[in-house]
Structure 1
Amino acid sequence: MHKDIKIIGSGFSALAASCYLAKQGHTVTIYEKNATIGGRARQLKKEGFTFDIGPTWYWMPDVFERFFADFGKKPSDYYELTKLSPAYRVYFGIKDFVTIADNLEEIAATFETIEKGSAKQLRSFMAKAQSNYDIAIKDLVYRPGVSPLELITPETAKKIGQFFGNISKDIRKRFKNKKLIQILEFPVLFLGAKPSDTPSFYSFMNFADFGLGTWHPKNGMYSVILAMKKLAEELDVEINTSCTIEKIIVEKGKAQGLIINGEKIAADIILSGADYHHTETLLDEKDRAYTEDYWAKKTFAPSSLLFYVGFDKKIENVEHHTLFFDVDFDRHAEAIYDNPKWPDEPLFYASFPSKTDAEAAPVGKEAGIFLIPLAPGIEDSEELRATYFEKIMDRFEKLTEQNVRKSVIFKESFCVNDFIKEYNSYKGNAYGLANTLFQTAFLRPKLKSRKVKNLYFTGQLTVPGPGVPPALISGKLVSELIDKNTV
């Protein structure tokens, strides 16, 4: 049955949902609070440099292919992809780094030079990881989180133990070298929790990394947003920006519309791709499915301190993606999850899109993105940002053996306060709700409101979880749920 559907937000999940809903024959309108679309995946352009403000890793290309195939399209119809070779580099000290190749055989050979016998162990570990990937990404995550029975299949029954073990222990049973352990634990950080709190089944992230590789869309991840916008508009979705949602109108337990920039807009169905907690604050308290106490007890993925830096020269001794694991991971993780505070010595990540993409920076110059994971909800100030920029620049220059500070043309920062201001993000989290055992599938906030009829949610705080590929899947899941309930 045809419905008039209003969508809050224009991130990956909202755009994906808009396409599916329009294809089903509904009238779909998107309202975005910011001046440009993309949610957390917006773009910064300055002095000839181009930066992705949010996600910079393109993993699980098959999920993007599956999304576009649902509309008879391919990613290549909209943007150009390059497989990064090498995928990334990890620094552990001066002249002490591991470069991850773009294929498993070379990665296994690299592992073997670091720890004898580790190549065989890696192949065995990756075979299990691929099996998990086939179950999870090709099937399990495409379920709406309505019932625990969704997790019970002949395949998952064989792997029940992997839901109660954890990635950290699994890796340490096979590998002894600290560098290899940290490299293998890195992919699950995208799920927002410590490896010791992440179920073993999520080793499928290792297959996403070593098995499928790391890719880069020309002109950055924002190219994917623009592709989805184009697809949505081809399906007659209307997209509006600079629209502040002030209230979700509920009458007799049913969502009836929105108040946007002071104006009442009627709707048959409301779908929010905005922050779940914030969306519920647009309702009267009696209509909220989750209390403040509920949110306070949840394990949230980290926030981040990000710097977008224009350099007046090319940066040496780095790859497109470069990780700096030269300090104690456990101490940094403790400052995020156990005792929230600014870490004394943070791990950090750097991306140099102009290594792959000539248009990301003027000729002879370099675009750099630096990210420090932080606990959500901690103090954020310009003074702290400046202090931590100096901290990571000290180490960056030392580890990569070059002077870069004097080559900084400009730097822009983005941190906890900005996540709150720009995205209404709960405590300024960057990635959503972590995928721990008790925050998986049906244990996550629901796609459909339990209190208000015709109100739905999508995105990283609901099913299936944080990350760009899950956001695309979330959009599909909620559209199917809406379609099922409007027949």
Structure 2
Amino acid sequence: MKKKIAVIGSGFSGLSAAAYLAKAGNDVHVFEKHDQSGGRARQFTIEQGYVFDMGPSWYWMPDIMEGFFADFGCKTADFFELVSLNPQFEMIFSDEKIDVPESLAELKTVFEKIEKGAASQLQKFMQSAKFKYEIGMKDFVNKPCHNWAEFISPKIAKSALKLDLLTSFRTYVARYFKSQKLRTLMEFPVIFLGASPKNIPAMYSLMNYGGYALGTHYPLGGFYQLVLAMKSVAEKQGVHFHFNKTVERINTQNDKVSYLTINDEKYEFDAVVASSDYQHTETLLDAPYRNYNDDYWKKKTFAPSSLIFYLGINETIPNLKHHTLFFENELDEHIDCIYKGKKWPEKPLFYACCPSKTDDSVAPEGKENLFLLMPLAIGMNDEECIREKYLAQMLSRIEKHTGISDLQSKIEYKRSYCVSDFMADYNAYGGNAYGLANTLGQTAVLKPKISNKKLRNLFYTGQLTVPGPGVPPSIISGKIVANEIIKIKN
């Protein structure tokens, strides 16, 4: 039976859910508070000719994106050109730098130079990581996670021990490598899962395979090309997009959502999918109809927020790669500031993305587009003077690495983005940037539910529910919730 369905928010999970729901024959309407789709992955252009992606910049797990488009009879190449980066990225330590090459064979050579025997250890690690990736990304993450019974199958039971669910990622990596630099290189990907490697299950070594083995890519024109492509797919299925539309209240009657109040107007729907921040969405409901109260969210471990700078540099920066990780300081010290001390780090790590090294379209000729990101705890005071203090530190370290002088004077455009901006733009709980951390206690069935427990036509999708944070998981999340709605007979 054809349903009229509202999707709140047009981030990756919202775009995905809308496309699948419309493909099934439903009348789907997406309501977005901003003037463009994409959520955290929005893009902005300025008069000087710079084009800035606002959020995601690591194009990993390309097979997940291809899987989405294949479901609609197309492929990414129909919409944008995907470039494989070589090197994938560079990691800067206090006494040396490591380039991560495009091919796994070359990466083994890099590992062997740093630690004797590490090449064969990397081969073993990646074989295991590939197994976890194939089981995890094909079986585990596609479950709606209503209960543990979903995971009872001969295949999953047979694979359980090999998935290393009860081993910490740090302990697991240490089994393979002695070099602290190699350990840090292998631990880096899970930082985006939102917790210390000490608290992330070793199953997430699948991230290493999804990145290092499958490669790091970049869509020419910026990451926003993926947003535009998914929006195009959704529109071809008949999805209607409504921009500058803020959902102000979710109204209920007879254990169902009866209508939405949007920009002071009333809109009736048969079902609602909230791709918006989960906790914020529930504040639009009367308290008795919320899945979780304030105490629930306060006890949760959230992935970090971020201090971001979008910079237009009026000359080229030598010796800087597309992706560069500045890890001259201790990883654990920075992580402890996020999860234990909940304070601004004294010796921060940070990430620099310079897409103009790959893409001429994102900066004027002879100039650079520079994106800087420093992870930090949620809920922090982020006034301008604090932001500027850390910008100066990051620029100083880039100057040391590249040999360029007085980078501050070469900035012709600057915009910062931090905790309060995530809260204002996305209603992000505590100003989080990535959602809930993928700790063992917040995995699968232990994540917030995708369906409202009291309202039979309200559903949730995105990085605060299953399967978790990141672009590929968000795309999968949209498909999961769409399938749940499609299964409902009336």
- The TM-score, its normalising length taken from structure 2, stands at 0.98
Amino acid in the other structure paired with 2:216: T
Q: Structure 2: which amino acid aligns with 1:18?
A: A
Q: Which residue of the partner structure matches residue 417 of structure 2?
A: 414
What amino acid does structure 2 have at the position aligned with 1:456?
A: F
Any idea what SS the aligned residue of 1:137 has? helix
1:42: which partner in 2? Answer: 42
C-alpha distance in 1 between matches for 2:341 and 2:489 = 46
The answer to whether structure 1 residue 203 and structure 2 residue 205 are counterparts is yes
SS at 2:370 equivalent = strand
Q: How do 1:356-367 and structure 2 match up within 5 A?
A: 356-367=358-369
- Which of residues 180, 183, 195 in structure 2 aligns to 1:181? 183
1:439 to 442, 460, 466: 442
* Structure 1 partner of 2:195: 193
Query: Does structure 1 residue 324 correspond to structure 2 residue 326?
Result: yes
Give yes or no for the alignment of 1:53 onto 2:54. yes
Secondary structure class of the residue paired with 1:442: helix
Could you tell me which of 477, 480, 483 is aligned with 1:480?
483
SS in 2 for 1:44: strand
Which SS does the other structure have where 1:368 is aligned?
A: strand
Q: Paired residue for 1:8? A: 8
Q: Separation in 2 of the partners of 1:254 and 1:146? A: 19
Structure 2 matches for 1:19-168, cutoff 5 A? 19-46=19-46, 47-93=48-94, 96-161=96-161, 162-168=164-170
How far apart in 1 are the matches of 2:195 and 2:259? 36
- Cα contact 1:82–1:216 (8 A) shared by 2: yes
Identify the range of structure 1 (171-180 vs 258-267) with the bigger mean alpha-carbon deviation: 171-180
Contact 1:308 / 1:411 at 8 angstroms: preserved in 2? yes
Distance across 2 between alignment mates of 1:156 and 1:3? 35
**Cα offset, 1:149, TM superposition:** 2.3
* 8 A Cα contact 1:320 1:356, kept in partner: yes
| Deviations 1:145-189 (CA, angstroms, capped at 9, x unpaired) | 112123333343344341110110111122111111110001111
* 1:431-470, Cα deviation, whole Å (9 max, x unpaired): 0011110111111111111121200011000010000000
CA shift for structure 1 position 398: 1.6
Contact 1:302 1:429 survives alignment (8 Å) = yes
d(CA) in 2 for partners of 1:156, 1:128: 15
The structural deviation recorded for 1:314 is 1.0
- CA gap 1:155/1:98 in 2 versus in 1, 3 angstroms: farther
Letter of the 1:231 counterpart:
V
What secondary structure is seen at the aligned counterpart in 1 of 2:34? coil
**What's the secondary structure of 1:195's corresponding residue?**
coil
Secondary structure of 2:433's aligned partner: coil
Q: Find the counterpart in structure 2 of residue 379 from structure 1.
A: 381
**1:190 shift after superposition:** 1.9
User: Which residue does the alignment assign to 2:278?
Assistant: 276
Q: State the distance in 1 between where 2:244 and 2:107 align.
A: 46
Give the partner amino acid of 1:388: Y
Uncovered stretches (5+) of structure 2, i.e. residues with no partner: none
Matched, 1:462 2:433: no
C-alpha contact 1:140 1:150 (8 A) present in aligned 2: no
1: CA distance, partners of 2:328 / 2:98: 12
C-alpha displacement of 1:252: 1.8
Aligned positions of 1:170-319 closer than 5 A = 170-319=172-321
Q: What is the CA deviation profile of residues 349-403 of structure 1, one whole-angstrom value per residue up to 9, with x for unaligned ones? A: 0000111111010001000000000101111111111111011112221233222
Once residues 335 and 486 of structure 1 are traced to their aligned partners in structure 2, the CA distance between those partners, rounded to angstroms, is 49
In the alignment, the residues of structure 1 paired with residue 3 and residue 416 of structure 2 have an alpha-carbon distance, to the nearest angstrom, of 42
**Counterpart-to-counterpart distance in 1, 2:159 and 2:186:** 20
Partners in 2 of 1:158 and 1:316 — Cα distance?
51
Determine the C-alpha separation between the residues in 2 that align with 1:70 and 1:372: 36
Partners of 2:440 and 2:44 lie apart in 1 by 36
Aligned partners of 1:354, 1:402: CA distance in 2, in Å? 17
- Shift of residue 140, structure 1, vs aligned partner: 1.6
TM-score (norm 1): 0.98
Aligned-partner Cα distance in 2 for 1:416–1:158: 43
Q: Distance in 2 between matches of 1:165 and 1:338?
A: 21
The amino acid across from 1:341 in the alignment is K
In the TM superposition, residue 234 of structure 1 has moved relative to its aligned partner by 1.1
The aligned counterpart of 2:408 is: 405
Q: Which residue of 1 aligns with 2:343?
A: 341
User: Which residue identity is paired with 1:387?
Assistant: K
In 2: Cα distance, 1:153 partner to 1:368 partner: 47
1:449 to 452, 464, 478: 452
**Residue identity in the other structure for 2:436:** L
Q: For 1:153, give the aligned amino acid.
A: S
What do the CA deviations read for 1:220-277 (whole angstroms, capped 9, x no partner)?
1100101111111111111011111110011121111100010111111011000000
SS, match of residue 142 in structure 1: coil
CA distance in 1, matches of 2:225, 2:35: 17
Query: Shift of the alpha carbon at 1:405?
Result: 2.1
Q: Deviations 1:94-116 (Å, cap 9, x if unpaired)?
A: 5x100000111100100100111
Q: Secondary structure at the match of 2:372?
A: strand
Deviation at 1:343, TM superposition (A): 0.6
What CA distance in whole angstroms lies between the structure 2 residues aligned with 1:434 and 1:89?
25
The letter for the 1-side match of 2:149 is: L
Q: Secondary structure at the match of 2:138?
A: coil
**Unaligned 5+ runs, structure 1:** none
* Contact 1:41/1:54, CA 8 A, preserved across alignment: yes
1:304-332 alpha-carbon deviations (Å, 9 max, x no partner): 00000000111111210100000011110
Distance 1:78 1:256 in 2: 38
Task: Report how far residue 45 of structure 1 moved.
Answer: 1.1
User: Whole-Å Cα distance in 1 between the matches of residues 339 and 139 of structure 2?
Assistant: 30
Q: Is the 8 A contact 2:44 2:53 kept in 1?
A: yes
The amino acid of 2:235's aligned partner reads E
* Counterpart AA for 2:58: W
Q: Number of residues paired by the alignment?
A: 486
